Chains A and B, each alone.
Chain A
Amino acid sequence: MNAPMIQFQQVSKRYDDGHEALRNVSFSMQRGEMAFLTGHSGAGKSTLLKLIMLMERASAGAISVGGQDLSKIRKRQIPYYRRHVGVVFQNHRLLFDRSVFDNVALPLEVAGTPELDIGRRVRAALDKVGLLSKERLNPQQLSGGEQQRIGIARAIVNKPPVLLADEPTGNLDPELSEDIMQLFGEFNRVGVTVLIASHDIALIESLPYRVISLSDGRLVEHD
């Protein structure tokens, strides 16, 4: 299939307060591609990810994900769309009122996955991030790097074709950051399209992936 997995065509985003977060941004990512999204803070990285997750709507231009025009997705359909997009957050957004297992199970639970499958798939996801032994613990008992891995397990547990990450290594030391990036690379190798927003230039340049750079809401480099 040659249709791009993620495609932005002259996309602009202006917030209600007049702030223009993205200006005329066009790029596309092929199915199974992995790329970094860089730029200084406030350059529009988060906005771009939010547009893909439909947390925000574009003010102008067209975005398609998996061949689907996002402007055609109505509010009620957003949850079903989001089940195909895994997201990893900088502060991992784990819920501390439940176990590691229950955190990872959440996307399956909201999708109405039968109980039996949930156990199997959660353990498979935890195995992939190397934390199968911690399923019964509370995320609070884990280290920062481990918490981020749980966040990744949650993002990939329902096998989304697209995986987004917003500063996934923001709070981690360089060694742990490299491990996390390697993990993303592994998912990419099995066909997941991965887009990682990060300003860790040193780390990004050491890795062989494409870099999409934003500055003041504009695309500055596209190779």
Chain B
Amino acid sequence: MTNAQRKQPKPPARGAAPVKPGAPSPFQAYLDHHRKVALSVLRELNSKPLSSLFTSAVIGAALVFPVLLVIALSNLYSINYDWKGAAQISLFMKQGLPELDATRVADEIRRRPNIETVKFISNKQALEDLKNRYDFGHIVGSLDQNPLPHVILVTPAVAVIDLEQLKATARQLQQIPEVAEAHLDAVWVERLRNVVQLLERVLWTVSLLFGISVLVIIGNTIRLAIESRREEIIVVKLVGGTDAFVCRPFLYLGSMLGMAGGVLAVIVVQSVVVFLSKPVEALVLSYQGEFGLSGLGFLATLLVLIAGAALGWLGAWLAVRRHLRDTEPV
């Protein structure tokens, strides 16, 4: 040994016992066991493909409806980007206000935050429109002075759903001294909002009901699995298996069935979206809207899978907890 080597002794191992190189740690053994259980559950599901598919299809069916509602809602929320014109505030200027002042007000509004577009319509222009459009020519011609006010059309840069914000914007605009009246054209907004609110409630109710039914389906499957493996459970407990060890395969089974259900639900939902997108676009077009139906994105897909797995896990956990007591007092 050289001097240099002697001067650098190995740091003494404190606390943790020195780990032999290549010796697997207890944690590694724990991970190995998880992997082993997951694989054996997969093999078991694979050995009974039909019943596995059936169970996950039932779970998938229960997940489809809430997911479809989420899609409907997220599409409705997205309307606020596509349909900014749906909510418009018409500002009627005070009678007799010079056009120059009215345009100055329009410019001032344009500079405000939260304003998407501002369109100024002078009373002359409005009268012209009226004359041309409705064949009121003879009536308009008989007027000795223009009875129409200048109008400023303001489109706020606010989510269409957000009626309160729209109303607040309208109130602010009403404060402008030159403005006689600010009229918020929000019938559609209100309707949309009511639909969204209704759908949100339906979503929660449906999610709750279908969530419970997923728990029941999984719980029943797990109950059968527990019954068929009763002898194994007893033996594992007698040789010192913890409850966690006994539960593990069943929790994996529940999660995997739930996730498989999620996969099926995603497939069904995406197909439904593709199937509906043409008619929906046509319908929206008939309202002069422009809007594309969007399905589940990557993140939402992931979320559905996780939700399926989590529900599966929960259902399995509830079932295992209940039925393990039946195998007491071992």
Contacts and interface: CB of A to CB of B under 8 A. Distances in A.
Interface of A: 53, 55-56, 79-83, 87, 93, 95, 97, 106-107, 109-116, 154
Given A79-B242, A106-B235, A55 B329 contact: yes
Nearest to A50: B329
Nearest to B245: A110
Given A95-B232, A109-B33, A114-B23, A79 B237 contact: yes
Given A55-B329, A79-B237, A115-B32, A110 B231 contact: no
Given A109-B33, A115-B24, A79 B241 contact: yes
Given A56-B329, A93-B234, A95-B231, A82 B29 contact: no
Contact of A80 (B231, B234, B236, B240): B240
A114 B29 contact: yes
Nearest to B244: A79
B24 A114 contact: yes
Contact of A110 (B26, B242, B329): B242
A97 B241 contact: no
B240 A116 contact: no
Nearest to B237: A79
B63 to A, nearest CB: 32
A112 B236 contact: no
B198 interface: no
Interface of B: 23-26, 28-30, 32-33, 231-232, 234-243, 245, 329-330
Nearest to B44: A97
Given A114-B28, A116-B24, A53 B238 contact: yes
Contacts of A111: 240
B236 A110 contact: yes
Contacts of A95: 231-232, 235
Nearest to B27: A112
Contacts of A112: 26, 29-30, 33
Nearest to A155: B239
A114 B28 CA distance: 8
Given A55-B238, A82-B238, 15 more contacts: A79-B237, A79-B240, A80-B240, A80-B242, A93-B231, A106-B235, A109-B33, A110-B239, A110-B245, A112-B26, A114-B23, A114-B26, A114-B32, A115-B29, A115-B32
26 contacts: A53-B238, A55-B238, A79-B237, A80-B240, A80-B242, A81-B240, A82-B237, A82-B240, A83-B239, A83-B240, A87-B238, A87-B239, A93-B235, A93-B238, A95-B231, A95-B232, A97-B232, A107-B240, A110-B241, A110-B242, A112-B30, A114-B25, A114-B32, A115-B29, A115-B32, A154-B239
